[in-house]
Structure formats: structure tokens, C-alpha cells
Structure 1
Amino acid sequence: MITALAEQDELALAPGFLEAIGRGVGAILLYALVGLALMIIGFYAIDVTTPGRLGHLVREGAPNAVVVTALGLVSMALIVVVAIYSTSDRLLEGLLTSVIFGLVGIAVQVLAVRLLERIIGIDIGLVLQADRFSPVSLIVGAGHFALGLVVAVAVS
């Protein structure tokens, strides 16, 4: 009899289990939407501030445009991840932190990378439109990634 009760307890769900799962799934969906929205905004911010149509270049497989875009998106994801992690037990605060720091991060990245390009003397329009890989695209991509790290650490 005691063994049967013990087995039933092992199969029973803890009180509040389903509620916790529901909250967790809801949080995942909300953070995913915020992250996706920020990455789309970040993509368009890079697109608007660089010569040429970045989306078209990426779809056409221009290697330098792909490198810069990919590293820009990874840097945005870093900011969102750290914002989520630093406020993981407070959903609304985490979402707001992600949005606010994400938008600030986008602005900082775009401005700083454009400044870096000017200081180094990179014609980013020519680099992005080139049919062949240019190591210069790694400098621009690294600038996006590095600034994403800086903003992410500032969030934490």
C-alpha cells in the first residue's frame, strides 16, 4: 500500500506546475517577439544608414553584405539575451529592458560603426556590393559585434 502511494506521488504533478509552464511558454513567446522585432529594426537601421539596398544584397548572396548583416544580428541578440538574463524573474521589466537597451544598442552600433568606417576610410557601399569576399567586411562586422558586447555588458 505504501509503495503504491509512493508511486502515485512520483506520477503526480506538483501544485502550480501547469501554471509555471504556461508562464514560461508565454515569456518565451514574448521575448522571441521582442528579439525578432529588435533584429528587424536593427537590420533596417543598418540598411538605411549604408549605401545600397542591404536586403537585396543579402538575398543575392553578396558575401560582404551577408557578413555585416549576420554579425549585426548576432550583436543584437547578445543585447537581448543579457537583458533577459539580468531580469529573468520579472517578465515586464525584462521585456521593457530588452526593448529600451535594444533600441539604444541599435543606435549606438549604427553611429559607432559608421564612425569607424570613416576613421578607417572604408567605402562600405563598395564593400557591401562587391561580388567577392573582402576582409574589410570582417572589420565592419566585428565593429557591430564588439559594440553589441559593450552594450550587453552595460545592461548587466
Structure 2
Amino acid sequence: MTTTVALSATFGSDLVRGIGAILLYGMIGLLLMFAGFYAIDWTTPGKLSKLVQEGKPNAVIVTASGLLSMAFIVVVAIFNSASDLTEGLVTSLVYGLLGIIVQVVAVRLLEWATRIDVGNTIESDKFAPATIVVAAAHLALGLVVAVGIS
């Protein structure tokens, strides 16, 4: 008995299209992550990137949680994008940018409501427990915004 394995006639073009989609969505995702980082950096007192480079533990925690929350938003925006590649890229970009804006505003409002002095907290050389509250707010609101996209 002989078994023949054959690829479909469109396998090559489907493979190339899939690789192109991965690269394009990857670029959109990277662009949104940069936008998310700079949105967090711009709206948080202090220069986060500098504080992270200096090894300030609270700045590292706030930045990491902010990036994770942005990743939730970007992943869900891409996952729920239209099935057409062009429409999918556009909807991912629009949903991702809107999600980043909502995330940043919501976190700042929550920090204001809890009266946490984020500026002094992230500049400290010593771990501050309030940082966990800020990090939890980033992650929780990132999840809420991500689910809102879907």
C-alpha cells in the first residue's frame, strides 16, 4: 500500500500570505507597544525610561505592569480584528490606539482617586508597597479595556 502526501494547489501562496500577515501584524503590535509605552511615560510623573535604567524598583514595576496591560489590549485588538487583512490591520490599529488612550486615562484617574503620589513613589530607591496598587490598576484596567475591545 502506497501513501501519497500532497500539498494543496494554493499552499505556497497561502503560506506567503500568512507570513506577510504575521509580519504586518507584528509591526502594528510593535508600533502599538511603543505608543503604549510612551503614553505611560508621558502621563506618569518622572521620566520612566530613565528611572528604569537607574534601577528604581517602583519605576520598573509600574513600567512592566503598564507594558503588560498594553500587551493585553494589543493582543485582543489583533485577535478581534476583521478577517480581511487590510481591514484587520486598520481595526487593530484603531482599537489598539483607542484602548491605549482609555487605559492611560483610567489609570491616571484611579491613581488620583487613591491619592497615590506616583511621582515620588517611582523615584524612590526603596520599594514602596503602593507600587503594587498602581501595578494592579494597570493590569486590571488593561484587562477591562481588552475585554471591552472584544
1:74 and 2:75 correspond: no
Structure 2-normalised TM-score?
Answer: 0.91
Counterpart in 2 of 1:41? Answer: 35
Alpha-carbon shift at residue 128 of structure 1 (Å): 0.8
Structure 1-normalised TM-score?
Answer: 0.88
Please give the secondary structure, in 2, of the residue aligned with 1:13. Answer: coil
| Larger-Rg structure | 1
Counterpart in 1 of 2:139? Answer: 145
Could you list the per-position Cα deviations for residues 78-136 of structure 1 after superposition, in whole angstroms to 9, with x for gaps in the alignment?
11211222236322222112211111111111111111111111110111111122221
1:128 and 2:132 correspond: no
After TM superposition, the structure 1 = structure 2 runs for residues 94-109 of structure 1, keeping only pairs within 5 Å, are 94-109=88-103
The number of residue pairs the alignment matches comes to 150
Q: What letter matches 1:81 in structure 2?
A: V
Question: Runs (4+) of structure 1 moved beyond 6 Å?
Answer: none
Equivalent of 1:58 in 34, 48, 52 = 52
Equivalent of 1:32 in 26, 40, 46 = 26
Query: What residue ranges of structure 2 are gaps of 5+ in the alignment?
Result: none
Root-mean-square deviation over aligned CA pairs: 1.6
Alignment identity in percent? 57
Counterpart in 2 of 1:155? Answer: 149
Are the aligned partners of 1:38 and 1:103 in contact in 2 as well (CA < 8 Å)? yes
Structure-2 separation of matches of 1:55 and 1:150: 26
Counterpart in 2 of 1:86? Answer: 80
